[in-house]
Structure 1
Amino acid sequence: MSESRFIYIGTDSGATTSKVGAVWEDGTTVSTRLLQHPTNAQKGPEAVVRGWVEAVDAFLREQGIGWDRVRGVGLAIPGPFRSYGVLDRSANLPESFAGFNVHEHYRNALSAKAGRPIPVTVGNDGDLGGVGEAQRVRGSGTGSVVMLAPGSGLGCAYVDGRGLPLTGDSLAGMEGGHMPAPLQVLGVPAYPCGCGRTWGCIEVYTTLAGLPRLLEAKLAEYPNHELARSDRPMKERAFALRGLAQRGDELALSIFDFQAKALGLHVANLAMALDPSYFVIGGGLMDPEATTDAFRERYLRIVRESADPFLFPNQRASMRIVPATLGDLSQAIGAALVALYRDRP
């Protein structure tokens, strides 16, 4: 049956590994098995593109699907972009990628492999991860979705009723991690962000990027804690917090409670502008393999309780805040879905 159906491929290019996913023409996922390979960014952009094509070819062979069934390909890749499909300088990729027209090169390489033109859609990896999660959470509905994914930074995406992400006129839409946090409510100073802004980007208070500063401030309240006695750099000590929180450590839990509160305030802030039906919370803290059920439930409860006082009554009654479910496949599946949606009349 699969040989008579068209397929849309999604490539998720991370800094270290790239992943492949796919959907059928009706939007259902072809496989939930994670296929990934090294990005090899240090070998240069041309080598990376060749690796993507080889990975797609391996995926198709594994599924028993021919290239003649491939209708389109989506690429999820970290921004920023100089123009559509042309990369700018990125903290996640070597400098040799700046100015590289990834859209043109990937399209040409795929078309050469398939022996016919293959349309390619390119988008920010965070945006396309939101597309994948949006389809899962709303099913056949059309409610809009915001995804917030705290990790090393804060991935943000807004997905409209058609399933497409907000990219913005300069391709910098939904860089919500660099909006200022409501510091007067959180009761903290304006920590500088890696982006260069000093107004207190919300990313610093909700992700790994700000954990060392939050931990350093909190240790004054716990002078006998093992992390207070450690002589390791603060950044290394911060990496231990997630594991400690899963074991009920009071200090670690208090820091993640603070991050959940900050994220909840950001939910309320974004709800004022975007008024979505759903907020999907992703990132490593929502990973069932890395965190306990109790931890995830506590985190989401605090997000909700922190947002509610600042929402309009209708939003409090109808807006849902739910965990992400696709994990590492979200961006590849989202890229495939955008290729599908762009192909529809």
Structure 2
Amino acid sequence: MGAKDTIMQSRDSWVVVGLDNGGSSNNATVLDASGRFLVDELVELPSRVDEGPDVAIEALADTFELVLRRTGVARERVRAVGLDTPGPASADGVISSKGATNFSQPAWWGFDFRGALEARLELPVVYNNDGNAAALYAHHVHFGNEAGSRSSVSAIVGTGLGGGVIEAGQVVRGAAGMAGELGHLPIPMEGLLDPGQPVPVCGCGQAGDVESIASLTAIRNHLLPYELSRNPDHELAEIESPVQAARLVRSYGEKGDPLALRIFEKQAKALGRLFHIAANFTDPDAYFVGGGVVQTEPHFREWFLAKVIENTRLREEQAKVATFALVPDLDMAGARGSAFAALASVTDTGD
């Protein structure tokens, strides 16, 4: 066996693990040195974040062990681990000192999530927030071998508005780790809201940012109440729980309900205006949309993406080269994007 064969055998023998931490569950994947995923399904366990950091770290360790058992990979083959969590958190994975939606207990405030998991697993851990991880996955899937020379912007509509900016295949994190917080960019409201419709206020306290329109929270707090005030006989007005009513809007949109379609068209306009800002700031190769609109019937998600494109103002030169697409495999996108980040951290060291 020659030296080249020995190197190839060594590279093929190691893997990285991606761990996606969420408010209710963790899921995991394994990526080998050639960039091949060894699992094509959700491998998940309860995240137990509501029980505090110590329990949550053990839950992640259990998920790590589960995915290794599921794939038949020996622990000794793991070179690094990619971790993503909801934010806000620093670039190094320290949860905000003011807490977060999924980390509301005081024990989480300022907690070094990445460092604690690294100490528990005794392996290098690479951190991204969940929006950045999903953005990185979408970028790699779309561009393949060209990922390292391409750029993209992703907007992921969930409880809030997450996303990420990828440049030359790498997540743009910024000095404080808060780059890519696309939901808190202010956008023009004229022509987006109806005449006389109040300007929504985001949970961050800012009026008229992207998240104040394009998020499930925006539907619950602003868009649906406004529409129901004008359509009090609509079926959704009969539902007592605002949270439940907001979650049902998507199914009504899939059925072509005019009220629901008005809500989603406003969200599509907000994303188009966000991408217009991106076009003038980073001029990316691709724009990705993810979130609940991805997990819908094909006719609806295609309609929604078409509305986003229609409301994204690009120069003629940009329109010729830019592409628009949906974030694929959304349930697994975080873990897979985290695995790609871990793989890059290993290969960048020359291993």
Give the TM-score, by structure 1 length. 0.91
1:159 is the counterpart of 2:166: yes
1:334 is the counterpart of 2:345: no
SS in 2 for 1:200: coil
Q: Is the 8 A contact 2:49 2:102 kept in 1?
A: no
Partner Cα distance (2:210, 2:11) in 1: 47
Q: Is the 8 A contact 2:164 2:180 kept in 1?
A: yes
Change (3 A) 1:168 1:315: same
Superposed displacement of residue 236, structure 1: 3.4
Partner Cα distance (1:108, 1:240) in 2: 42
For residue 192 of structure 1, what is the aligned residue in structure 2? Answer: 201
1:146 is the counterpart of 2:153: yes
1:344 is the counterpart of 2:347: yes
Match of 1:135 among 105, 119, 140: 140
Match of 1:63 among 67, 71, 81: 71
Partner Cα distance (2:91, 2:329) in 1: 29
**Could you report, residue by residue, the CA deviation over 1:292-324 in whole angstroms, capped at 9, with x for unpaired residues?**
1111111011110111xx211111111111111
Partner Cα distance (2:248, 2:58) in 1: 37
Q: Can you give the 5+ residue segments of structure 1 that lack an aligned partner in the other structure?
A: 112-117
Equivalent residues in 2 for 1:98-117, closer than 5 Å: 98-111=109-122
Partner Cα distance (2:90, 2:328) in 1: 32
For residue 172 of structure 1, what is the aligned residue in structure 2? Answer: 178
RMSD: 1.9
For residue 209 of structure 1, what is the aligned residue in structure 2? Answer: 217
Partner Cα distance (2:125, 2:241) in 1: 44
For residue 115 of structure 1, what is the aligned residue in structure 2? Answer: none
SS in 1 for 2:101: coil
**Could you report, residue by residue, the CA deviation over 1:48-93 in whole angstroms, capped at 9, with x for unpaired residues?**
1112112111211111110111011011012223572322221211
Partner Cα distance (2:241, 2:120) in 1: 45
For residue 181 of structure 1, what is the aligned residue in structure 2? Answer: 187
For 2:203, give the aligned amino acid: G
Q: Can you give the 5+ residue segments of structure 2 that lack an aligned partner in the other structure?
A: 1-8
Give the TM-score, by structure 2 length. 0.89
1:119 is the counterpart of 2:124: yes
SS in 1 for 2:190: helix
Change (3 A) 1:50 1:98: same
Superposed displacement of residue 221, structure 1: 4.1
1:251 is the counterpart of 2:259: yes
Partner Cα distance (1:235, 1:105) in 2: 34
Percent of matched pairs sharing the same residue: 30
Change (3 A) 1:106 1:233: closer
1:265 is the counterpart of 2:249: no
Aligned residues between the structures = 331
